[in-house]
Each structure stands twice: as structure tokens, then as C-alpha cells.
Amino acid sequence: MRRPPTSHERQAGAPWDASYADGPAPWDIGEPQPAVMRLARDGAFTGAVLDAGCGTGDNALHIASLGLAVLGFDVAATAVSIARARAADRGVDAEFVVADALRLQGLGRAFDTVLDCALLHTFDRHERREYVASLASVTRPGARLRVLCFSDVGPGACGPHPVTEDDLRAAFGPDSGWSVASVAAERLCARFDMEGVPAWLASVDRV
């Protein structure tokens, strides 16, 4: 079934897949995000891992290289093809599929840890509610979600969709099936700023 365009796609005037048509997308830095590598080093990913909006797969491949079972999904088929090729080239056992973040029930699977690196901030308020419910449909009680998203706070705050801390917490409110455990200042690297722009790193528990 054909999906309606997201708020980001309407704003950009093009589908997500177009971001990968002429070389790397602005968020594709060719390596895992430093914050994700630190989380992995500290044992933040356990059990079955879902990488939401995996792009070309560098974060998922890093996590999978540690021996974890990882499924990465993205709505952009070109990105998923690149991720699969990278997995084959590196000899890393990770799975990548095309899927809609707002309609994950079709995966038919349940996960213990979820990584959202630069996906939540692309949704408007209404879409965030759909997305959070969609994640709840494929996670077990006690699962933990790690969200890395653009922040509106700090020198150099930018990105097309900065998120306030209140917006972040509201997305995982009392009726969402989730509970925010922590929110901290972080950096999110992009091709236009490899040192990283202000971001939030949130830990959210499935209840």
C-alpha cells in the first residue's frame, strides 16, 4: 500500500530515497556516530536490537560487529541496498529491510533494545505519536530505546528539525507505553559539521 509522505518529505518536496540519489546524504558520515559507539562500549545494547531509520547502516553494523542480533530498517530502499552491501563487504551479520517507521507491526518481531539515531526529529508532533506507538508494537516490556536527535539548545544549534526537551518528553508521555529515564546533552555529527551539533541523548523505557 502506498504510504502518504511524511512532514519532512512534504517540506523537502521529495521522498526520503531521493536523499541518496547523488552521493551521501547530509547525515551519512561514513562511520558510526561517536555517541552510538560510546553507548555500545558501555553495554547499552542487549538482546535483539532494532536500528530505526538505519540509513546506510554504519551504526547497525558497528553494533552487530559486537555479536548482537541487529535488524536495521529504513523507508529509503536505496539506503537499505547500500547497508546490505556494506554488511557483505565487511563480513558483518546484520539484517536490513525496507519498512515504514509509522507502521512497524508488519515486522512481526519483538526487540529488547532500539536505537533511534536522527529519526524522531524528522517527524512532526502528530507523527511522533504514531511513531512511538509503532515502536511500542515491536518491543517487549522492559525494552530500552536510545534516542539521539537534534536539540534546540546550545551554541550552533541547527538541523532542519531541532527538538525541545519538552517535545521529546511529551512524545513519550504517560499514555504512550514508554517512560523517559534520562535526557542529556550530546553531539550529533553530520557531513556539514563533523564535530557535531547540539543534540539530545534520551533513554526511554518500555513499560
CATH number (domain holding residue 66): 3.40.50.150
Could you tell me the CA-to-CA distances from 2 to 75, 83, 100, 113 in Å, in that order?
A: 12, 23, 11, 29
Residue 120 lies in a domain: yes
Given a cut of 70, is residue 1 above it in pLDDT?
A: no
Range of the domain at 200: 7-206
- 150: Cβ–Cβ under 8 A, 6 or more apart, which residues? 118, 121, 157, 158, 159, 160, 161, 162, 163, 188, 197, 198, 199, 200
pLDDT of the residue at 143: 98
Per the structure, the count of domains in the chain is 1
pLDDT of the residue at 96: 98
The pTM assigned to this predicted structure is 0.95
pLDDT of the residue at 155: 74
pLDDT of the residue at 2: 76
Residue 29 lies in a domain: yes
Sign of the C-alpha dihedral, residues 26, 28, 34, 40? Answer: positive
pLDDT digits (tens, 9 = 90+) for 65-98: 999 999 999 999 999 999 999 999 999 999 999 9
Residue 78 lies in a domain: yes
Identify whether the C-beta of residue 114 lies closer than 8 Å to the C-beta of residue 50.
Answer: yes
pLDDT of the residue at 161: 79
Torsion angles phi and psi, residue 144, rounded to 5: -125, 135
Could you tell me the CA-to-CA distances from 200 to 43, 99, 143, 168 in Å, in that order?
A: 19, 25, 20, 9
Residue 15 lies in a domain: yes
Mean pLDDT, the chain, integer: 95
158: pLDDT confidence band, cut at 50, 70 and 90?
Answer: low
Residue 117 lies in a domain: yes
pLDDT of the residue at 36: 98
Residue 42 lies in a domain: yes
Q: What percent of the chain shows pLDDT beyond 90?
A: 88
Residue 2 lies in a domain: no
Residue 136 lies in a domain: yes
pLDDT of the residue at 159: 64
SS3 labels along 14-77: CCHHHHHCCCCCCCCCCCCCHHHHHHHHCCCCCCEEEEECCCCCHHHHHHHCCCCEEEEEECCH
